[in-house]
Structure 1
Amino acid sequence: MELDVSSISDPRSSGLTMHINKVHHVTTIARVAQDLGEDEDWLHDVANEMEIEDGVIWVYGVGEDGVMAFTDFGIENLIELIKMHKDDPTLLTRWDRTE
């Protein structure tokens, strides 16, 4: 079976599925903490459980260590984690002991 290279020039015509990153902005943890009325340090501890698939990323600039930031999806996930941690404040202490 040969692949028709002429149809690959336009991905829509080839039937191929492409992953396109639809994230056009992120919000820093400082801004999220301010918007949600939460302590930034506590929020950082809660967000440490998150993975990139959950909508958290690190943003690096010149001379900076990096800043935690969230996609809109990440903020939604973070809000759910906040609720879980407020319902059971011992979650962070249990997490700290496992390291």
Structure 2
Amino acid sequence: MTTHVNKVHHVTTIAKVAKDLGEDEDWLQDVASGMDIEDGVIWVYGVADDGVMAITDFGIENLIEILKMRREI
């Protein structure tokens, strides 16, 4: 029997990633919205809010690569 073990021990909100990268949060969220869970993006839901996008370290690396490709165009 194989059991899946989640190796993600933390995520970073899109707001923090935008601040760290010096990017506009709304624009960065638009870019990241094209990413899938396999790319390192998840949604975190609480009691009183609609949810917030969060990104794994792997997702941040993927997002940076996407930003580089967009800037080359």
| TM-score computed with the length of structure 1 as normaliser | 0.70
8 Å CA contact 1:46–1:85 kept in 2: the answer is no
| TM-score computed with the length of structure 2 as normaliser | 0.93
Larger Rg: 1
Which structure ranks higher in relative contact order (CA pairs < 8 Å, sequence separation ≥ 6)?
2
Query: What is the alpha-carbon root mean square deviation over aligned residues?
Result: 1.0
Unaligned runs of 5+ in 1: 1-15, 89-99
Paired-residue identity, %: 75
Deviations 1:16-49 (A, max 9, x none): 5432101110000000000011110110111011
Count of aligned positions: 73
Unaligned runs of 5+ in 2: none
Deviant stretches of 4+, over 4 Å: none
Structure (1/2) with the larger helix percentage: 1
Tell me which residue corresponds to 2:5.
20
